[in-house]
Structure 1
Amino acid sequence: MFFFVVMKRFNICLFLLLITSVSLFAQEVDTIPIDTKNLEIKLKRSPLPSRTGSLIYKPVTILPIIVSEKVNYWKTRTSVGINVNQATFSNNWKSGGVNSLAIGGLVNYKAEYSKEGYSYTSEVILEYGKINNKDQLQKKTRDRIFWDNKAALQISKNWYFFGSVNFESQFDKGFAYYKENNEEKQSLISKFMSPGYLTESIGFEYKPTGYFSTRIGTGTAKQTFLLDSVYNERFNANHYGIPKNKKFRNELAFQIVSNFDKQIFTNVNLKARYQMFIPYDRPLVHVDHRLDVELRSKLNRFMNVTVTGVGLFDKDADNEIQGSQTLALGVTFVFPR
């Protein structure tokens, strides 16, 4: 029995040795060089095109591409708005009312230039509106011409040295209305360039963000014009601060102008401008204030709702605070979109 086991193991080892020898012999055969001198060997043609002979390279001059583009340092925006309000009642309308038609228009143009610490801003605001009620005199709802120009030179991160010139007046005649013998009467109190204001200012501007700035005009001059006589003892006793029989007045003053313009909610923009004017010849008894606020809500691409308010305190025009407020639904076109 032991003999058969030994023979079995011997046969297995002999078989493994035979397999290993055949493998080594095959490797040795693969490495034997073959003489192909008299053999006809046909190689398979490559499907890729081939070229025989020498290749000639010719240098090609590549011209640079010139792009005819220029950097535009100007940014402009123009908005044109139209508001129309109309109401009609039948003669037997028991709730009361009066037929009316109101039309208003607004043009706002703003151009800004900025390059290497120098900036220039020009803004034009033109407003005019009228309302016509049945059996009443026509009345203005808005009337303003405003043109502001400012050049600034950056002196630090948030501070600028600036110079500005702005002009303000109105398009149409302005009247005060009163009743006399149950009949509506009107009295002329203002017109174009009566009054008109021209203000020049130099100083420093603080601008920490793109939507807020404050000008501190240490050297400010303001000219008030009254080209046509609209003096009315009853409604305009102060005569806009201009002496009788005079058409011009110049004042030197300290001025502060703050501007805020930002989208505070989705499609809701708040724009405000505050101005304080302190004449140097009467700083303790005469300080002018003006606050303009506009809240605009965009309904769709063209329609919007606008609420505007103005608060004014100017002793040269009136000894009390003046105020106005308007609410309008209209169409506004903005260029560029």
Structure 2
Amino acid sequence: MKQFHFSLITFSVLFFSLFTFSVSAQDTPTDTTSIWKKGGSFSATFANVGLSNWAGGGQSSIALGAILNLNATRKTEKSTWENILTVQYGMARVGESDFNLFKKTDDNFQFDSKYSYNLGKNWSSGTSMNFRTQMASGYFFDRDSLGEERQGQLLSKFLSPGYLLFATGIRYETKIFNVRYSPLAAKFTFVMDDSLANVGAFGVDEGKNVRSEFGSNFDAGLTYDVMENVKLSSTLNLFANYEHLSQIDVNWENLIVFKVNKFLTTSFSTQLIYDHDVLIPQEEDGVAERAIQFKHVLNINVGYTF
């Protein structure tokens, strides 16, 4: 079975690569000095609250975070090839260091590659690849008899889970809005840590490391300048397995950025995830059940765009 999954993933990667490069070769202009546009940004955040004999109560805290975004776009009259790498990580400690540990608050590693071939005004066909995972392990935390925090049950780690999605279809796009429907899509869920795989974490069958699904995929995106120096972006991804079309996986991300100056920005982001196959242990009783995952992050960033 592992050989089957490996062959399937290899075929998908090769198909995506061959499709992209073969079609790209057909419309490569003689002068290639201007068709690639590259850029990126890096920002870091730091927050600290220190309390001593504070009558109003509360706890001291430290929070750290960083965001790296790299992008490269190849655009010609006939096609567009977009590549985006996003890396986010954050950690925080609430309370005195003798009793409390640093815990991660944000952890995301994502790579997107989308190729589209122009069919006419606002319409294109193409294929896309999305890969996402995390970098550090995630745990439940509890306290020992002395009240000191300690790591509890392992919940996740690098490539546990990891998600790889290939999709081929048709796209409609304007300056601020785009929508793509892909009737041919393949989604792979990886749980490479055996201790998690053996209990069927993240929807894989118990004892397996990879779960493959074939279905249809729907993407919608919005990028809008709300006002000067305020930008809103929103992306919605829906995936339906052909074996269970009523069970739709949802990933909805929103980001609003307030630009203060060249180096200082404030951002607020949300992410909502629902995966019918993922059972999440509840903190109240530890029972795993289906649930909507939701995250919001407010950052004041000091960084640089290049």
TM-score by length of 2: 0.81
Over residues 203-254 of structure 1, what are the superposed CA-to-partner deviations in whole Å (9 max), with x where a residue is unaligned? Answer: 01111x2332111111000111111124399xxx761110111101110011
Partner of 1:112: 73
- State the alpha-carbon separation in 1 of the partners of residues 54 and 119 from structure 2: 67
Of residues 241, 252, 257, the one that matches 1:279 is 241
Q: Is the 8 A contact 1:189 1:230 kept in 2?
A: no
Partner of 1:256: 218
- State the alpha-carbon separation in 2 of the partners of residues 245 and 232 from structure 1: 5
Q: Is the 8 A contact 2:197 2:209 kept in 1?
A: no
Of residues 323, 327, 335, the one that matches 2:294 is 323
Shift of the 271–172 alpha-carbon distance from structure 1 to 2, 3 Å rule, reads: same
- State the alpha-carbon separation in 1 of the partners of residues 241 and 197 from structure 2: 25
Q: Which runs of 5+ in 1 are unaligned?
A: 1-68
- Higher mean displacement: 180-189 or 311-320: 180-189
Q: Which runs of 5+ in 2 are unaligned?
A: 1-30, 280-289
Shift of the 89–232 alpha-carbon distance from structure 1 to 2, 3 Å rule, reads: farther
Tell me the amino acid that sits aligned with residue 199 of structure 1.
L
- State the alpha-carbon separation in 1 of the partners of residues 177 and 63 from structure 2: 34
Partner of 1:175: 139
Q: Is the 8 A contact 2:37 2:74 kept in 1?
A: yes
Partner of 1:166: 130
- State the alpha-carbon separation in 1 of the partners of residues 256 and 158 from structure 2: 28
CA shift for structure 1 position 173: 0.3
2:171 pairs with 1:205:
yes
Of residues 222, 229, 243, the one that matches 2:187 is 222
CA shift for structure 1 position 256: 0.6
Where do residues 53-92 of structure 1 align in structure 2 (5 Å cutoff)? 71-90=33-52, 92=53
Where do residues 229-244 of structure 1 align in structure 2 (5 Å cutoff)? 229-231=194-196, 239-244=201-206
Of residues 284, 287, 299, the one that matches 2:260 is 299
Tell me the amino acid that sits aligned with residue 312 of structure 1.
I
- State the alpha-carbon separation in 1 of the partners of residues 121 and 230 from structure 2: 29
CA shift for structure 1 position 183: 5.4
Percentage identity across aligned positions?
28
- Please tell me whether Structure 1 or Structure 2 has the larger radius of gyration of its CA atoms: 1
Tell me the amino acid that sits aligned with residue 129 of structure 1.
G
Classify the secondary structure of the residue corresponding to 2:57: coil
Over residues 285-321 of structure 1, what are the superposed CA-to-partner deviations in whole Å (9 max), with x where a residue is unaligned? Answer: x111111111110112211111111111112223111
Partner of 2:26: none
Classify the secondary structure of the residue corresponding to 1:287: strand
Tell me the amino acid that sits aligned with residue 89 of structure 1.
L
- State the alpha-carbon separation in 1 of the partners of residues 170 and 142 from structure 2: 46
Of residues 160, 169, 172, the one that matches 1:194 is 160
More strand by share: 2
Q: How many residues are aligned here? A: 261
Shift of the 93–312 alpha-carbon distance from structure 1 to 2, 3 Å rule, reads: same
Partner of 2:113: 149
CA shift for structure 1 position 184: 3.9
RMSD: 1.9
